[in-house]
Amino acid sequence: MDRISKAVELAAEKRQPGKPKKPLSRSESAQPFEYTKTRRIVVQPEVMRENRLIAGSDQQIIIDAYKLLRTRVLHRMQQNNWRTLGITSPGANVGKTLTSVNLAISIAMKHENTVVLVDADLRRPSVHKCLGIEPEHGLLDYLEDDIPIDQMLINPGIDGFVVIPSHNHSHARSSERLSSTKMERLVRELTARYPDRLVLFDLPPILVGDDVEAFSPYLDAFLLVVEDGKTDIVEYAKTIEILEHEDVLGTVLNKSNEPGHGYDYYY
Ligand SMILES: Nc1ncnc2c1ncn2[C@@H]1O[C@H](COP(=O)(O)OP(=O)(O)OP(=O)(O)O)[C@@H](O)[C@H]1O
Ligand SMILES: [Mg+2]
């Protein structure tokens, strides 16, 4: 077993329950939005296959790995009555977005659950690219220009799965935007309406700025993604330290080199 795999296992053994969550403020009343207005942009099967989405895959070993991840995530979320999960990593380009999208698809495939995936990586948004769609509106339009929430919603042709994309990248004030009261209102409105809905947030890497830490009060739990052979062990340790008082469900060991384990998940 290489060093990052070992570090991930050790971190899982040491993990403590996180801090109590800050309740979302009730200063503004939740204004339910209309899901009937959700735009449907059907992702084509060849795009799904090219972009490694499980909805277009016939590789059962990969589908099964995401289903296992889904079941473990759902158990922990339901046991604790948690609704919001942030997906992050120590550094860039390890597979956070692909993990977020495939986790969301696998949750939606379980018919009693619905899921919203928000692209909260304002620095390098790519959920729309992973789905091969070109959204008209995104999160920044809501945060900066006040477009209504329902104008951002897209159903990519999979029942029970709604995406809030973020198509314009911007490094400027990204952590201020993520910790704004408008973001808080969005989280509250997304979780208010349906008790069986999970809200996933595809986040930037934790070590590139303060975005993830600034947004953490709105998240019930985190899922980490590391890349086998690439994620630096020191960066991983630093990430675990930063999240010491948060609830971390586990770490996905992505692109694992171990034979037979394309995607591993340490709990
Ligand atoms: N398990 C995997 N096997 C093969 N390719 C993968 C795997 N996971 C991710 N990739 C590919 O690696 C690239 C980076 O993935 P992704 O965009 O999900 O990473 P990220 O961590 O979200 O990056 P960023 O830090 O830029 O947000 C993509 O081209 C994706 O298709
Ligand atoms: Mg990404």
Q: Whose CA is nearest to atom 28 of ligand 1?
A: 95
Residue type, 193: R
pLDDT at 25: 42
Of the pLDDT bands very low, low, confident and very high (cuts 50, 70, 90), residue 259 is low
Residue with tokens 């018919």: 111
Task: Determine contact, residues 231/91, Cβ cutoff 8 Å.
Answer: yes
More confident residue, 64 or 22: 64
Q: Whose CA is nearest to atom 4 of ligand 1?
A: 255
- Distance (Å) of CA 92 to CA 15, 173, 205: 23, 19, 6
Helix (H, G, I), strand (E, B) or coil at 191: helix
Say how many Å lie between the CA of residue 28 and the centre of ligand 2.
Answer: 31
> For the chain, which domains are there?
3-13+43-266 (3.40.50.300)
Q: What is the spatial distance between Cα 174 and Cα 186, in angstroms, rounded to a whole number?
A: 16
Say how many Å lie between the CA of residue 122 and the centre of ligand 2.
Answer: 10
Contacts 24+ apart (CB under 8 A), 232-236: 232/90, 232/91, 233/3, 233/4, 233/7, 235/90, 235/91, 235/207, 236/4, 236/7, 236/8, 236/11, 236/90
26 CB-near residues (< 8 Å, 6+ apart): none
pTM: 0.90
Q: Under the phi-then-psi rule, with left for phi > 0, alpha for psi from -120 to 50, and beta for the rest, what region is 71?
A: alpha
Q: Whose CA is nearest to atom 16 of ligand 1?
A: 95
Of the pLDDT bands very low, low, confident and very high (cuts 50, 70, 90), residue 46 is very high
Of the pLDDT bands very low, low, confident and very high (cuts 50, 70, 90), residue 27 is very low
Exposed (0-12), middle (13-18) or buried (19+): which is 94, by Cβ within 10 Å?
A: buried
pLDDT at 16: 61
